[in-house]
Structure 1
């Protein structure tokens, strides 16, 4: 094998610089984490202003919070779907059994099974879909409802503390 060194370019794009720095930081530190102070030192060495790094850090924290909310929302949707699926399975097992015992063949229970099954399938598709306009609207509504619940709970707690004092 020959030791071929590619020619170094005179300039790099911003995306290329990010990739190179990411590789360098990952290989330089054996630890998994860098301190906040180290982040600020790296930014200073790269001649990035405090305002820019502070804004980027704030944006990153906000994105992480939204991602955490989205994971909670997805988990909530999937748990609701599992509850519906369990109810469907229990009720339809009973109805099919009743139909088989009473008549000895599947007749009317098959229609219930199929139509309700179609609804369950659509709910499942919706519960495991995590993109699109409908998803965004539902996420925004769920997020707003959670904020309202938290606000009401906070006000209620403060009111109780005030009344106890």
Structure 2
């Protein structure tokens, strides 16, 4: 009787200890660690390809859709949807700091964006560049990661991205 009771107690302890291991349940629910990229990030199934993607989208104030940022080149990896007002600096979330490798500016309506390697769209002493409707990947200084951006409506080839 005591042996059976002890066996049940030990088995219960092993189950509880197995469930108490940090991160094991989260990994099963989120194998891509998608939610670690911030609020609004979730796994989505692309029904056309059958692949899961991690998409981050927060737009509580129905602001204009400015750009999409990706953790990998060629518009792949985890996607962050950037919303905000035109001619206004947008800092990428802290969890995206130096993790962007490619981006697409919105095409409907078309926008042109400036990307910056520092927060708050600082261009003095920092690297920054305007990018057109789309760019395959960030190279050179931008390969280290974009930290902020500013966009404006694209009218023609003389359009500028910033309102500085």
Both proteins in one fold, TM over 0.5? no
TM-score of the pair, normalised by structure 2: 0.22
Return the structure number with greater helix share: 1
Q: Of the two, which has the highest radius of gyration? A: 1
Return the structure number with greater strand share: 2
TM-score of the pair, normalised by structure 1: 0.22
